[in-house]
Amino acid sequence: MMNKDVAKIMIGEEDLDGIVSRLAEEISRDYSGDDKRLVLLCILKGSIVFTGDLMKKLTVPVEIDCMRVSSYGNGTESGGNVNILLDLVRPDLDKCDVLIVEDIIDSGRTLAYLVGYLKHKGVKSVKTCTLLDKPSRRVVEFEPDYKGVEIPDEFVIGYGLDYAEMYRALPYVGILKPEVYENK
């Protein structure tokens, strides 16, 4: 059943499963060498569901780590700067092939910042994977290495994505009814 605050389902469960399977294949192929040490870096909280589904489908050894960043504040508009709320702390970063896992790219600020930050910290390699991409919203130029699907400029929720911390547990990606945030 659809949540009452959802105007429309944009990507249903089966489609999500197909998208995540395809990404897992691409990543497994690229990280299959003996010299690789893949660390999926889940960007909390929005990427929890995507990372969980993606890791189960990988056919290569994988470690998991997390960072929490915020750029969004409370509403549906991105803030100008990125804050690190939970850092990546491990002694062996120079041996890690880090793949940042994001739920969605909007302005591009979060991933552009994180890639620079991790390089500066001295990780062996850093690449990016996003489930969703809203290319029309870019403020900072950014292209991910792995991309699920491009979507139009709509505020979406579910499959980890939230509005004011709600709706993350919905099993699909849906368009939030505008009246939900306009009447706030």
Active site annotation includes 94: no
Instruction: Report the partner that residue 108 touches, choosing among ligand IMP, Mg ion, none (CB closer than 5 to 8 A by kind).
Output: ligand IMP
Stretch that binds ligand IMP, among 12-20, 28-36, 48-56, 97-105 (CB under 6 A): 97-105
Paired residues of 158 in beta bridges: 161
With 0-12 CB in 10 A as exposed, 13-18 as middle and 19+ as buried, what is 3? middle
In 3D space, the residue among 148, 67, 144 whose CA is nearest the CA of residue 111 turns out to be: 144
Q: Which amino acid is at 121?
A: K
For ligand IMP, give the closer residue by CB, 49 or 157.
157
Binding mask 37-76 for ligand IMP (x = CB under 6 A): ---------x------------------------xx----
Binder of ligand IMP out of 11, 103, 114, 147 (CB under 6 A): 103
DSSP 36: -
Q: Which of residues 108-137 bind ligand IMP (CB under 6 A)?
A: 108-110
In the three-class reduction of DSSP (H, G, I as helix; E, B as strand; rest coil), residue 67 is classed as: strand
Asked if 17 and 49 count as a contact pair (C-beta separation under 8 A), the reply is no
- Which residues of the chain form contacts with ligand IMP (CB under 6 A)? 46, 71-72, 78, 102-110, 155-157, 161
Active site (catalytic) residues: 106
